[in-house]
Amino acid sequence: EEGKQESTNMGTINIGIRDLALAAFGLDTGFRREELCSMLIDDINFESNTAIALCKGGQFSYGAFSPETAHLVKNWLLVRKSQPGINNLFINMKSGRALTGDGMGCIFKAWSKSLGFKVSPHDLRSSFATLATIYGAPSRSVQVAGRWSSIEMVEHYTGNLQLEVIRPFLPMHNLKNS
């Protein structure tokens, strides 16, 4: 009985490690659900903290991620157990097979239930654009990093910015402090 409980707890811990790595990786790179699901371990370069994915439109494109995300992904790789021949970065914890779009949808439904509000895989992409903008990234940088073909798409994804985000950039505040 005790061994069974310990195994269940380790499974829960490993799911948490995977989910944290998934959230951080999606948030930093802005990759879409399908791109995250098809991401292979071999597609990640920890020396440059970049990853390449087959993106919408059939083109391979790079995404960058932070050292913090690299740490979380490396932790995930330490506990990741998959079926032989499965090289996908994110896997289904029960089957050991590649995580599917539907499987990722189930993860986000569980997160939504736990958080008390709805979140979707696409929220990672939207949050990537919004948070990068809030933290001062130029729109063109967000466009390139998010692999959007136009600046209008960046504006669409950052449409939920609130008035308060301007406060650190107000001219009189910055003139006073320069």
Written as one string, the DSSP assignment of 112-128 is HHHHTS---HHHHHHHH
Distance between CA atoms of residues 35 and 33, nearest Å: 5
Give the pLDDT score at 178.
67
Tens digit of each residue's pLDDT (9 = 90 or more) over 9-42: 667 889 999 999 999 999 999 999 999 999 999 9
- Give Cβ neighbours of residue 125 (< 8 Å, ≥ 6 apart): 26, 30, 31, 32, 146, 157
DSSP bridge partners of 88: 40
Q: What's the CA gap between 21 and 136, in Å, rounded?
A: 24
- Residues 6 or more apart whose Cβ sits within 8 Å of residue 167: 173
State pLDDT tens for residues 45-94.
Answer: 999 999 999 998 899 999 999 999 999 999 999 999 888 999 999 999 98
Q: Which two tokens stand for residue 157?
A: 């994804």
